[in-house]
Amino acid sequence: MAVILGLVSTTSDTNGVEPNADAVTGRWDGVDVHFGEEGGRLTYGSYLRLGALLDQQRLESDPPAHDELLFITIHQVYELWFKQVLHELTASRDAMLADELWLAEHLLRRVHTIERILTQQVDILETMTPQDFGEFRHRLSPASGFQSVQFREIEFLSGAKDPSFVKRFRGLTDAERTRLEQRLEEPTLWDAYLAVLRAAGFPTDSEDEIRTALQTVAADRSKYAAIWELAEALLQHDELAAAWRARHVVMVERMIGAKPGTGGSSGAGYLRSRLDLRYYPLLWRLRTTL
């Protein structure tokens, strides 16, 4: 029996997730092989591209500051999870647009689990002291988390589109700028949720109409169970993003106090100004009336 290893993507927009060409061509006779010895083709390390992955931690400090490896690793892990979150949020948005509500909710719940981990990861970085951070912090300027393209993509896709961030970005590659501009163009999760409300027969042309639709759904949860649960899942995503922002700014105060940021902002002051950001203000305002 011939077995084809690996995944073949069926979507045209792979969101940066490409099939592994080596894996797709690998075949072996399922009867003769021993586990882990498929003719020496696919291995743990080659499948996961560990040669490349584990070669990406390059320190700026010289002599090497002990804690800089932790700092780089944490950020790289964040970016890997951001990639996964974008993959899931994009699919959740598309599921809503296709009126597949169970799938949209299922994917959002996976995102919540990742987002909890993203906040907990701050604990690891806080094992670094301000003094040890100080050994290499001066080498990082003007780089900053402010320049995380995927972080901004998550904000745009979630509903907080702000073109001024694209203008303020320094050092974007053409591919990164294109990705951000595409996120500014395409429907957000909130746009997709409004499409769900319309598919259920609610008009959504004005804020008043949307508020009425949300009220009606909340007032009859047995009739509108899937739509209600989806709104709750969106709200949870919003709350977990807010929790990360709050955790990040407190960590920043612990690490650098009131110093300005390497990215050129006032530092904690700027980050505090972003704490009130909410993706779905109407879902929050609804609470007051329930």
Ligand X SMILES: N[C@@H](CC(=O)c1ccccc1NC=O)C(=O)O
Pick from ligand X, ligand HEM, none: which does 140 bind, CB < 5 to 8 A by kind?
Answer: ligand X
How many angstroms separate the CA atoms of 204 and 22, rounded?
48
Do 106 and 94 meet the contact criterion of CB atoms below 8 Å apart? no
Q: For residue 226, what are its two tokens?
A: 């899937």
Q: Which residues in 28-87 contact ligand X (CB under 6 A)?
A: 75
Among 108, 160, 224, 261, binds ligand X (CB under 6 A): 261
The total of other beta-carbon atoms located within 10 Å of residue 215's CB is 13
Do 268 and 252 meet the contact criterion of CB atoms below 8 Å apart? yes
The identity of residue 38, as a single letter, is E
Pick from ligand X, ligand HEM, none: which does 188 bind, CB < 5 to 8 A by kind?
Answer: none
CB of 244 to ligand HEM, least distance (A): 9
For residue 228, which of 240, 237, 216 has the smallest C-alpha distance? 216
Q: Is residue 47 at the binding interface for ligand HEM, with CB under 6 A as the rule?
A: no
CB of 79 to ligand X, least distance (A): 10
Q: Is residue 145 at the binding interface for ligand X, with CB under 6 A as the rule?
A: yes
Q: Is residue 274 at the binding interface for ligand HEM, with CB under 6 A as the rule?
A: yes
Among 38, 65, 68, 78, binds ligand HEM (CB under 6 A): 78
Which is nearer to ligand X, 187 or 263 (by Cβ)?
263
The reply to whether 72 sits in an annotated binding site is yes
Question: Residue 26 to residues 3, 7, 31, 37, 45: CA-CA distances in angstroms?
Answer: 8, 11, 15, 13, 15
Do 108 and 232 meet the contact criterion of CB atoms below 8 Å apart? no
The reply to whether 74 sits in an annotated binding site is yes
Among 196, 234, 262, 280, binds ligand HEM (CB under 6 A): 262
CB of 83 to ligand X, least distance (A): 16
How many angstroms separate the CA atoms of 18 and 9, rounded?
7
Rg of the chain over Cα atoms, rounded to whole angstroms, equals 22
The reply to whether 4 sits in an annotated binding site is no
The total of other beta-carbon atoms located within 10 Å of residue 96's CB is 27
Q: For residue 135, what are its two tokens?
A: 């050994």
Among 262, 271, 279, 286, binds ligand X (CB under 6 A): 262
Do 111 and 88 meet the contact criterion of CB atoms below 8 Å apart? yes
Residue tagged 């647009």 (tokens)? 97
Q: Is residue 74 at the binding interface for ligand HEM, with CB under 6 A as the rule?
A: yes
Which is nearer to ligand HEM, 84 or 144 (by Cβ)?
144
CB of 252 to ligand X, least distance (A): 7
The total of other beta-carbon atoms located within 10 Å of residue 241's CB is 21
Q: For residue 37, what are its two tokens?
A: 């010895």
Q: What are phi and psi of 178, to 5 degrees?
A: -60, -45
What is the sign of the dihedral through the CA atoms of 183, 184, 190 and 191?
A: negative
What does the per-residue mask of binding to ligand HEM show for 119-158, with x meaning CB under 6 A?
------x-------x----------xxx-x--x-------
Pick from ligand HEM, ligand X, none: which does 70 bind, CB < 5 to 8 A by kind?
Answer: none
Interface positions with ligand X (CB under 6 A)? 75, 137, 140, 143-145, 256, 261-263
Binding-site residue set: 71-75, 137, 248, 262
Which residue numbers belong to the known binding site for substrate?
71-75, 137, 262
Interface residues toward ligand HEM, by CB under 6 A: 74-75, 78, 125, 133, 144-146, 148, 151, 248, 251-252, 255-256, 261-265, 267, 270-271, 274
